[in-house]
Amino acid sequence: MQTLAFDGRTGAAGDMILAALVAAGADPDVLAPVEAALPIEYRIDETTEKGIAATTVDVGIEGGRSDTDDADANGSDPGGAAHAHQHGETTHSHGRTHDHENDGTHDDENDETGDGHAHAHTRAEGAGAHRTYAECRDLVASMDLSDRVEADALATFRRLGVAEARVHGTDLESTHFHEVGADDAIADIVGAALLVDDLGVESIVTTPVAAGGGEVSMSHGTYPVPAPAVAYIAGEANWELVGGPVETELLTPTGAAVLAQFADGVDSLPSLSVESVGYGAGRKSLADRPNVLRATVGAASGGLVRDGIRVLETVVDDTTPEVLGGLHDRLADAGARDVTVVPTAMKKSRPGHLIQVVVRPEDVSAVAERLAAETGTLGVRETPTTHRWIAERSVEASTIELNGERYEVDVKIAADDAGDIYDVSAEYDDCAAVAAETGRPTREILRRAETAYRASETSDSEQ
């Protein structure tokens, strides 16, 4: 399976992700729809960070020029203006103004150039209209994007919007993005979706992502790193957030949202037959390590797939068997991935049932509400499960012959992520129907269907 692996040990920002993707082999020409829709241009350059050759991507105002380097963030992830980022003993003061705390709109953290290279142009950070979530959605929809790229970009904006709404206690549709709705943030988010699509990988993973440490000062006070929006976004991601390794801010809301949208978490770099490696540089100089995001592309060896999940639980003692029997279908309609009902003993030895529901993080609220409505439970627990390891699953047809007649039976196929099949299981209902028609035992039809599929696979592989 073709895999893209990020190394998150020095955090991530929007333009660092763009740079890493370009350096790993994505074609920057695919960014043209964004440049056509916004008065910006992507400027791609090379630099050296602590001896590591790396790529930089700046989002600049089209045709803009300045005489000085505008170094103020870990990449050009847009940021909360007129607040100061207190990084260790150094405070960077930014000139734009807004009157709210860090909500997903703060400046990218890795901002000073470690190698002294100059950006002789005007960066687009915070430039352009500050849009609402709805306006960002309409703008993305107006671009010449494929359905997949548009869906990924909109989902990333939604992650940012939900985080900002939670920070401010507002609803999503009325939330203003401020700098995150500015031109450069849109360029980062849509650009990442375009470059990921161009790489054509089947799986994207990241090692634990570093948030940094210390505090960040904003107009409403001083907040610990990670910033509020980053913490909310990481809470819905399928990867782990870790502190350190330096006392400065390393992960921006845009960087967090892009990784949350595309990447699953792994503890370490997976086994890969490496095809390309790229480094995307931030602009902050770290004292003892290169400030780069590494992207590695290669073919992964076989294994199960990490799937981000949550588990909901409740215990009931007065739900009828009829309701429990139909619960799986009702919860599946709301987004449940799996439902288990286990007999149990409750207080005073009353018989009851433990209901456990596996859901994706984005479906937790809807499934919990449906579970309460269907069972009448007074509460639903969310357990701290973050992921499960699952097989690649598919359903295919198996043909068997009985008494000169051919019958098709669906079989479920379980394979690792390299495509190696390790289990074949015939669908019971299909087999029962064939058994009823032919007068043969159901277990014989099950066995014949599974054997026939395995034989056909062996034949195909030998050709």
CATH homologous superfamily of 392-462 equals mk0293 like domain (3.10.20.300)
Which two tokens mark 213? 């440490």
* pLDDT value of position 218: 62
Give me the pLDDT at residue 174, please. 67
Place of tokens 């709404």: 165
Between the CA of residue 394 and those of 280, 345, 423, what are the distances in Å? Answer: 37, 38, 11
CB 93 within 8 A of CB 148: no
Q: Residue 187 phi/psi, 5° resolution?
A: -65, -40
- What token pair was written down for 210? 């570093």
The DSSP element (H or E) to which 34 belongs, if any, is helix 32-37
Hey, where are the domains in the chain? 2-300, 310-385, 392-462
Give pLDDT, residue 175. Answer: 65
- Under a CB-based contact definition with an 8 Å cutoff, are residues 359 and 309 in contact? yes
- Residue 434: its pLDDT value, please? 96
Q: What is the pLDDT of residue 183?
A: 83
CA 370 – CA 453 distance, rounded (Å): 39
* Fold of the domain built from segment(s) 310-385: Alpha-Beta Plaits (3.30.70)
> What pLDDT, on a 0 to 100 scale, did the predictor assign at position 149?
96
Q: Tell me how far apart the alpha carbons of residues 323 and 425 are, in angstroms, rounded to a whole number.
A: 29
pLDDT of residue 421: 87
pTM, entire model = 0.62
Nearest to 121 by CA among 174, 69, 196: 69
**Other beta carbons less than 10 A from residue 146's beta carbon:** 12
Strand partners, 63: none
Other beta carbons within 10 angstroms of residue 49's beta carbon come to 24
Check residue 406 and give its pLDDT.
Answer: 94
pLDDT tens, N- to C-terminus, the chain (463 residues): 789 999 999 999 999 999 999 999 999 999 999 999 999 999 999 999 999 999 999 998 765 543 333 333 454 444 333 333 333 333 333 333 333 333 333 444 444 333 444 344 455 454 455 677 888 889 999 999 999 999 999 999 999 888 888 887 888 876 666 545 578 889 999 999 999 999 999 889 999 999 999 987 765 678 899 989 899 999 989 899 999 999 999 999 999 999 999 998 888 888 888 999 999 999 888 989 999 999 999 988 766 766 778 899 999 999 999 999 999 999 999 999 999 999 999 888 889 999 999 998 888 999 999 999 999 999 999 987 777 777 788 899 999 999 899 999 999 999 876 678 889 999 999 999 999 999 999 999 999 999 999 998 876 665 5
CA distance 438 to 442: 10
Q: Burial of 421 by CB count in 10 Å (0-12 exposed, 13-18 middle, 19+ buried)?
A: middle
Q: How far is residue 30 from each of residues 5, 146, 281, measured CA to CA in Å?
A: 21, 11, 21
